[in-house]
Chains A and B, each alone.
Chain A
Amino acid sequence: MANKAYQKVYTQLDAITKATVSLKATGVTNDELATVGGRLAQVVKTKGDIITLQVFAGTEGIPTNAEVAFMGNPPVIRVSEQLSGRFFNAYGQPIDGGPEVDGEVRQIGGPSVNPYKRRQPSELIPTGIAGIDLNNTLVSGQKIPFFADPDQPYNQVMADVALRADVDKIILGGMGLSNDDYLFFRHAFEDAGALEKIVSFVNTTEEPPVERLLIPDMALTAAEYFAADRNEKVLVLLTDMTLYADALSIVSNRMDQIPSKDSMPGSLYSDLAKIYEKAVQFPEGGSITIIAVTTLNDGDITHAIPDNTGYITEGQLFLRADTDTGKVIVDPFRSLSRLKQLVQGKKTREDHSQVMNAGVRLYADAQNAKTKMENGFDLSDYDLRCLDYAKEYAVRLLSIDVNIKIDEMLDTAWELFAKYFSKAETGIKQAFIDKYWPAE
Chain B
Amino acid sequence: MKTTGKVTGIVSNLVTVQVDGPVAENELCYIDFGGTRLMAEVIKVNKDRASVQVFESTRGLKNGDTVEFEGKMLEATLGPGLLSSVYDGLQNDLTTMKETFLQRGEYTDPLNHEKLWDFVPIAKAGDKVIAADWLGEVKEGWLPHKIMVPFSFKGEYTVKKVAEAGQYNIDTVIAVLTGEDGEDVDVTMTQKWPVKVAIKGYQEKPRPFKIMETGVRVIDTFNPIAEGGTGFIPGPFGCGKTVLQHAIAKQGEADLIVMAACGERANEVVEIFTEFPELIDPHTGRHLMERTTIICNTSNMPVAAREASVYTAMTICEYYRAMGLRCLLLADSTSRWAQALREMSNRMEELPGADAFPVDLSAIISNFYARAGVVVLNNGKTGAVTFIGTVSPAGGNLKEPVTESTKKAARCFYALEQNRADQKRYPAVNPIDSYSKYLEYPEIREFLDRTVEPGWVDKVNALKVLVRRGKEANDQINILGDDGVPMSYHEAFWKSELIDFALLQQDGFDPIDCLCPMERQKYMADLITDICGRDYIFDDYEECREWFKELINLLRQMNYNTFKGEAFLNYQHEISKHLESNGK
Contact = CB atoms under 8 A, between A and B. Distances in A.
B293 interface: no
Contacts of B552: 427
B542 interface: yes
Interface string A402-440: 000000000000000000000011010110000000000
Contacts of B12: 267
A324 interface: no
Given A112-B300, A375-B478, A425-B549, A47 B9 contact: yes
A232 interface: no
A112 B303 CA distance: 12
B485 to A, nearest CB: 11
Contacts of B336: 269
Interface in B504-554: 509, 541-542, 545, 549-550, 552-553
Contact of B63 (A49, A112, A120, A377): A49
Nearest to A50: B9
Given A30-B62, A353-B509, A339 B267 contact: yes
A117 B423 contact: no
Contact of B270 (A26, A119, A228, A377): A119
Contacts of B265: 277, 312, 314
Contact of B423 (A47, A121, A302, A364): A364
Contacts of B274: 119-120
Nearest to B509: A341
A303 interface: yes
B481 A424 contact: no
B509 A118 contact: no
B401 to A, nearest CB: 11
A315 B346 CA distance: 29
B545 A380 contact: yes
A352 B298 CA distance: 31
A430 B561 CA distance: 11
Interface stretch (B72-80, B207-215, B284-292, B388-396): B388-396
Given A267-B343, A270-B299, A303-B395, A27 B94 contact: no
**Interface core residue of B64, B100, B396 (most chain A CB under 10 Å):** B100
Contact of A277 (B237, B300, B422): B300
A307 B237 contact: yes
Given A111-B104, A427-B553, A28 B238 contact: no
A119 to B, nearest CB: 7
B581 interface: no
A47 B478 contact: no
Contacts of B549: 424-425
A341 B424 CA distance: 14
Interface string A229-259: 0000000000000000000000000000111
Interface string B235-255: 011100000000000000000
B355 interface: yes
Interface string B43-69: 000000000000001111111100000
A261 B267 contact: no
Contacts of A375: 478, 481
Given A116-B95, A269-B299, A375-B478, A382 B542 contact: yes
Interface string B100-128: 11111000000000000000000000000
Contacts of A380: 482, 541-542, 545
A45 B483 CA distance: 68
A121 B267 contact: yes
Given A112-B300, A310-B237, A261 B102 contact: no
Interface string A366-398: 000001100111101110000000000000000
A316 interface: yes
Nearest to A356: B424
Contacts of A304: 394-395
Interface string A324-343: 00000000011010110100
A59 interface: no
A336 B426 CA distance: 14
B356 A266 contact: yes
Task: Kindly name the residue among B95, B104, B395 whose own CB sees the greatest number of chain A CB atoms within 10 A.
Answer: B395
Given A117-B100, A382-B542, A29 B62 contact: yes
A372 B300 contact: no
A114 B101 contact: yes
Contacts of A115: 86, 94, 266, 269-270, 296, 298
A282 B99 CA distance: 12
A279 B62 CA distance: 31
A30 B61 contact: yes
B366 interface: no
B298 A310 contact: no
B94 A116 contact: yes
A228 B271 contact: no
Given A277-B265, A315-B238, A378-B482, A48 B392 contact: no
Interface in A135-173: 141-142
Interface string A170-198: 00000000000000000000000000000
B434 interface: no
Nearest to B299: A273
Given A116-B95, A311-B237, A302 B395 contact: yes
Contacts of B185: none
Interface string A343-357: 000000000010001
B60 A31 contact: yes
Given A311-B237, A424-B550, A113 B395 contact: no
Nearest to B104: A111
B542 A364 contact: no
Contacts of A32: 60
A266 B422 contact: no
Interface in A21-43: 26-32
Contacts of A120: 267, 270-271, 274
Nearest to A270: B303
B397 A114 contact: no
B459 interface: no
Nearest to B103: A111
A120 B483 CA distance: 53
A32 B560 CA distance: 60
A361 B343 contact: no
A31 B59 CA distance: 5
Pairs A-B, 8 closest by C-beta atoms: A302-B395, A273-B299, A277-B300, A377-B481, A310-B237, A260-B356, A31-B59, A116-B94
24 contacts: A27-B64, A28-B63, A30-B58, A46-B11, A116-B94, A116-B97, A117-B99, A117-B100, A121-B267, A141-B267, A257-B347, A258-B356, A269-B263, A302-B397, A310-B236, A314-B267, A315-B238, A316-B238, A336-B238, A364-B422, A372-B481, A376-B481, A377-B483, A427-B552
Given A113-B100, A257-B347, 11 more contacts: A28-B62, A29-B61, A47-B9, A110-B101, A111-B101, A112-B298, A259-B356, A274-B299, A302-B394, A333-B422, A364-B424
Interface of B: 8-12, 16, 57-64, 86, 94-95, 97, 99-104, 236-238, 263, 265-267, 269-271, 273-274, 296, 298-301, 303, 333, 336, 339-340, 342-343, 346-347, 349, 352, 355-356, 392, 394-397, 422-424, 478, 481-484, 509, 541-542, 545, 549-550, 552-553, 556-557, 560
Interface of A: 26-32, 44-49, 74, 107, 109-121, 141-142, 228, 257-261, 266-267, 269-270, 273-274, 277-280, 282, 301-304, 307-308, 310-312, 314-316, 333-334, 336, 338-339, 341, 353, 357, 360-361, 364, 371-372, 375-378, 380-382, 424-425, 427, 429-430
